[in-house]
Amino acid sequence: MDPSTIAAKQCLETSDNLTTRIAIHSYSTNPQSWFSWLSERLTMEGHVFEALEIGSAEVRQCDAAQLPFLDHHFDMVIANSMLYHVDDLHAVLAEFARVLRRGGKLIVSLSGRDANPELSALSINVGRPALALKQARIFAENAGDLLGRYFVDVKSERFPGDVSVPTAEPVLAYLNSMDTEEMSAKQTSIARGFIEGVIGATGNFKNGKHTVLFTATGKRQS
């Protein structure tokens, strides 16, 4: 199944799965949220950002591999945890490079192959493989080389913090979000027993995170 098909099945009909996956990060051991941490890094040399009243904004839904914008149109392009879901990764990166102005900034966030190790292991043990990551073609580990084909000055920074959840329900909800069908009663029972056993022994269900922010610069054309 293609990455885009998986994403559509999991997230387009309802936003519940996406909301559930975001919610578990509220149990982060880092007191600073991902978006707060990210916003501190959305700066560009030579630019002064001022707080302005914005009357309206234009939002377009489009194919990332065929963006309806002119060449060198944007000062910044942001791909926040979305490159896993594209079918033709190189076409998308080429489009990002095309619409980014010379010297503009690309912002990409990605997980590592070892992201969510405890959640992924538990999911597999109850027959719930993480479909999106199985089909993904880009991770934190190979992103530097891939981005370097289209951009220059590629840098990375890892977001600090893991997840520590005190009750079973958020973990069970996350497991349910990792496939297109809900867990069976048997799967839920097995998962709950394991999670509650860990919480009883250690106080929390802990899960490692591996989220990396990549920045790169648009190539200057001669």
The enclosing domain of 94 has a CATH number of 3.40.50.150
pTM reported for the whole predicted model: 0.81
Out of 36-50, 59-73, 158-172, 193-207, pick the least confident.
Answer: 36-50
Q: Is residue 214 part of a domain?
A: yes
Domain range for 102:
3-17+29-41+62-162+210-218
What percent of the chain is predicted at pLDDT more than 70? Answer: 83
Provide the sign of the torsion angle of the four alpha carbons 76, 82, 85, 90, taken in this order: positive
Closest-CA residue to 169 (of 136, 135, 146, 196): 196
Q: Is residue 35 part of a domain?
A: yes
Angle formed by the axes of helices 16-23 and 169-177, nearest 10°: 140
Closest-CA residue to 85 (of 162, 12, 181, 182): 12
Surface-to-core class of residue 57, CB atoms within 10 Å of its CB (0-12 exposed, 13-18 middle, 19+ buried): exposed
Q: What is the pLDDT of residues 26-51, one digit of tens each?
A: 999 999 999 899 999 887 655 555 55
